[in-house]
Amino acid sequence: MEGHTPEPGEGPEAADILASTRTLVDPELRRAVDTLPGSLRRVARYHFGWEHADGTPAAGSAGKAIRPALVLTAVRALGGEPAGAVRAAAAVELVHNFTLLHDDVMDRDTTRRHRPTAWTVFGDADAILAGDALQALAQRMLAEDPHPGAPAASARLAACVMELCAGQHADCALERRGPDEVTLDECLAMAEAKTGALLGCACALGAVYAGAGLDAVDSLDGFGREAGLAFQLIDDVIGIWGDPGHTGKPAGADLAARKKSLPVVAALASGTPAAAELAELYDGPQGKPGSALDAERAARAVESAGGRDWAQVHAADRMSRAIGQLAGAVPDLEAAGGLLALAEFVTRRTH
């Protein structure tokens, strides 16, 4: 496990939860990946940051482990034993990484976690196959888990994958359309499917492993989904106005790529003069950084059109809905504390 230094915006509790999650889940994850056939194991170990492209060990991290932490923390919040849900936590992380491998192929993204993406190193076919194998590995882990919650967890995780695929489809479809042909509702639905669904599923799996009833499981799913939407809104704000202290993501990056992020679409829908100015600036192919867009001017237009305020108010609204869902299932605020700390954490920084 790599060292962990708390950063601004990350409370000590979230840091502790994430660190102890990695201690529990990382060995299980590595053991699982080591059962892949050799050719695909290499691609997966590179993708997770455990190996360099030449197969030598790397000190990199597989990420913050937010999703596994949500699984284990939800188990605890509902009175279960987190140590019994380590396989479910690892399965969720495997699914997350399967979708990253495939999304990078489809989106032609060349960088992930500050390294070249797997398809740029191993080719499209191996990145697709490694993703396929990781999805299978996640399901095999659950199928081999004697825990009584495993079949329900397997069904929920599989249903979540279908939703993630629909979300990625919607994302690709929205990117191809002009900025005036995209509605805010479509973008919110896409963000829920692409980002909210797996955070919700992680929380729901924790509830399942704690032996909770269906109502509580669904409430935990709702909690994760709403928190996920709040996270996406804040992430989109950071993608425009930046938060270099936390993320290193430069201000204006999303605007320069003409990304139809939520604050931008909200601004475009505002009917203000700033919306018209923004539409004109966005009138070009998305994702082509060469066709320079004045990011500072665009950021001012999004702000004048109310996109920034809308995103912040809407994020707060989603967080309060998330807390409402959680309160319904976990009346004891102390028991819910870990989940709240993680939700606070994900809405304050990117991953």
Q: Under rule CB under 8 A, how many of the chain's residues touch a second copy?
A: 45
∠ CA 309-340-342, nearest 5°, is: 85
For the chain, the straight-line distance linking the first and the last C-alpha, in angstroms and rounded, comes to: 17
In single-letter form, the type of residue at position 324 comes to: G
Q: Applying CB under 8 A, which of residues 70, 77, 86, 130 lies at the interface with a second copy? A: 130
Coil, helix or strand at residue 146: coil
Stretch that binds a second copy, among 59-67, 72-80, 140-148, 251-259 (CB under 8 A): 140-148
Q: Does 163 bind a second copy (CB under 8 A)?
A: yes
Nearest approach, Cβ of residue 80 and a second copy (Å): 20
Q: Which is nearer to a second copy, 106 or 184 (CB)?
A: 106
266/191 Cα distance (integer angstroms): 14
Q: Does 161 bind a second copy (CB under 8 A)?
A: yes
Q: Applying CB under 8 A, which of residues 6, 27, 151, 245 lies at the interface with a second copy? A: 151
Q: Does 132 bind a second copy (CB under 8 A)?
A: yes
Q: Which is nearer to a second copy, 174 or 256 (CB)?
A: 174
Q: Does 162 bind a second copy (CB under 8 A)?
A: yes
What residues numbered 177-206 form the site for a second copy, per CB under 8 A? 193
291/293 Cα distance (integer angstroms): 6
Coil, helix or strand at residue 57: strand
Q: Are 71 and 88 in contact (CB under 8 A)?
A: yes
Given CA atoms 155, 158, 164, 166 in this order, what sign does their dihedral have?
negative
Given CA atoms 122, 123, 125, 127 in this order, what sign does their dihedral have?
positive
Nearest approach, Cβ of residue 13 and a second copy (Å): 34
**Residue numbers at the binding site for a second copy (CB under 8 A):** 35-40, 98, 102, 105-106, 124-126, 128-133, 135-137, 139-140, 142-144, 150-152, 154-155, 158-159, 161-163, 165-166, 168-170, 172-173, 193
